[in-house]
């Protein structure tokens, strides 16, 4: 798995405990994908990463970080 | 309709289709399987329209791709080995295996040819053309 971490769980918490289903609907993906992302089991495409960042109203780097 | 309900309904439709097809094969009735399978596909598509959640996304496609590739590779290797074994056996003692071996061998060749054509198509579609 690539060394890409994300702050989706934290950002959901900061956005009034947004549910996984709400985020999935905003990003246009399944709730299972949000679960997989939060568990670090799946790395999204650039498009989905942008959609998730847009759903939170933040930049891509604030959601996803690449670690060497 | 929620995702869980959709999955439940889809599983039920799948079980009914399998039962009906199995029953029609057992009773030598060739007319039932085709309309049953078509009806099953139509019902599942109608159920999908009633979904409020997204049920297919890039992760689902990725999982499907990996599963399909694993099955493809496994089948091609096992079928090629089985075909070689069947064709390599004594043809006079096992004449029926020769036909089965050729069928399997041609199936593998057809599958590989289709894979190659599909690979070229998608490689060009996604910018692999020089």
Which of B59, B60, B61 best tests the A interface by mutation, with the highest count of A CBs <10 A? B59
Asked whether the CA dihedral A33, A10, A40, A67 is positive or negative, the reply is positive
Read off the pLDDT of residues B71-103 as tens digits, 9 standing for 90 and up: 999 999 999 999 999 998 877 888 888 889 999
Q: How far is it, in rounded angstroms, from Cα B14 to Cα B44? A: 9
Q: For A45, which residue in chain B has the nearest alpha carbon?
A: B58
Residue B130 lies in a domain: no
Better pLDDT: B107 or B128: B107
Read off the pLDDT of residues B2-41 as tens digits, 9 standing for 90 and up: 777 888 999 999 999 999 999 998 888 888 888 999 999 9
Distance in Å, alpha carbon of B75 to nearest chain A alpha carbon: 27
Averaged pLDDT, A43-53 = 96
Residue B102 lies in a domain: yes
Q: Do B54 and A30 make contact, defined as CB atoms within 8 angstroms?
A: yes
Residue B75 lies in a domain: yes
- Is the domain of B76 the same as that of B117? yes
DSSP A57: T
Between A50-59, B48-57, B58-67, B120-129, the lowest mean confidence (pLDDT) is in B48-57
Read off the pLDDT of residues A11-34 as tens digits, 9 standing for 90 and up: 999 999 999 999 999 999 999 999
Residue in B3, B56, B58 nearest the CB of A48: B58
B53 touches A at CB < 8 Å: yes
The answer to whether the CB of B72 falls within 8 A of the CB of B111 is yes
- Is the domain of B68 the same as that of B103? yes
Residue B17 lies in a domain: yes
- 3-class state of residue A65 by DSSP: strand
Distance in Å, alpha carbon of B64 to nearest chain A alpha carbon: 14
Which of A23, A32, A51 best tests the B interface by mutation, with the highest count of B CBs <10 A? A32
Between A46-50, B67-71, B93-97, the lowest mean confidence (pLDDT) is in B93-97
Q: Do A30 and B57 make contact, defined as CB atoms within 8 angstroms?
A: yes
**Which residues form the domain of B93?**
58-125
Query: Nearest Cα to B56, choosing from A4, A29, A21?
Result: A29
Is the pLDDT at A45 greater than 70? The verdict is: yes
Is the pLDDT at B118 greater than 70? The verdict is: yes
pLDDT confidence bin for B127, thresholds 50/70/90? confident
- Is the domain of B62 the same as that of B120? yes
- Is the domain of B17 the same as that of B44? yes
Is the pLDDT at A2 greater than 70? The verdict is: no
- Is the domain of B65 the same as that of B106? yes
Residue B78 lies in a domain: yes
The residues near B62 (Cβ < 8 Å, ≥ 6 apart) are A42
The pLDDT value recorded for residue B128 is: 73
The residues near B65 (Cβ < 8 Å, ≥ 6 apart) are none
Total of domains in chain B: 2
- Is the domain of B84 the same as that of B121? yes
- Is the domain of B72 the same as that of B108? yes
Residue B91 lies in a domain: yes
The residues near A66 (Cβ < 8 Å, ≥ 6 apart) are A2, A3, A4
The interface pTM score, or ipTM, of the predicted complex is 0.83
Distance in Å, alpha carbon of B54 to nearest chain A alpha carbon: 5
| Model-wide pTM > 0.80 | no
Averaged pLDDT, B108-120 = 96
């Amino acid at each position: 798995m690539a060394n890409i971490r994300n702050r989706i769980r934290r950002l959901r918490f900061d956005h009034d405990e947004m549910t996984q289903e709400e985020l999935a609907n905003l990003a246009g993906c399944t709730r299972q994908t949000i679960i997989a992302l939060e568990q670090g089991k799946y790395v999204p495409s650039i498009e989905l990463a942008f959609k998730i960042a847009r759903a939170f109203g933040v930049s891509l780097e604030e959601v996803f970080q690449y670690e060497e | 309709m929620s995702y869980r309900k959709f999955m439940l309904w889809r599983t039920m439709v799948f079980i009914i289709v399998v039962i009906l097809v199995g029953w029609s094969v057992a009773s030598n009735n060739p007319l039932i399987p085709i309309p049953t399978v078509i009806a099953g596909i139509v019902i599942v598509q109608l159920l999908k329209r009633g979904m409020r959640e997204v049920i297919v996304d890039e992760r689902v496609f990725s999982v499907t791709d990996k599963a399909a590739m694993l099955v493809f590779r496994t089948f091609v290797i096992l079928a090629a080995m089985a075909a070689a074994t069947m064709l390599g056996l004594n043809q006079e003692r096992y004449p029926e295996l020769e036909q089965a071996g050729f069928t399997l061998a041609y199936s593998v060749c057809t599958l590989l040819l289709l894979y190659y054509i599909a690979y070229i198509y998608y490689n060009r579609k996604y910018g692999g053309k020089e």
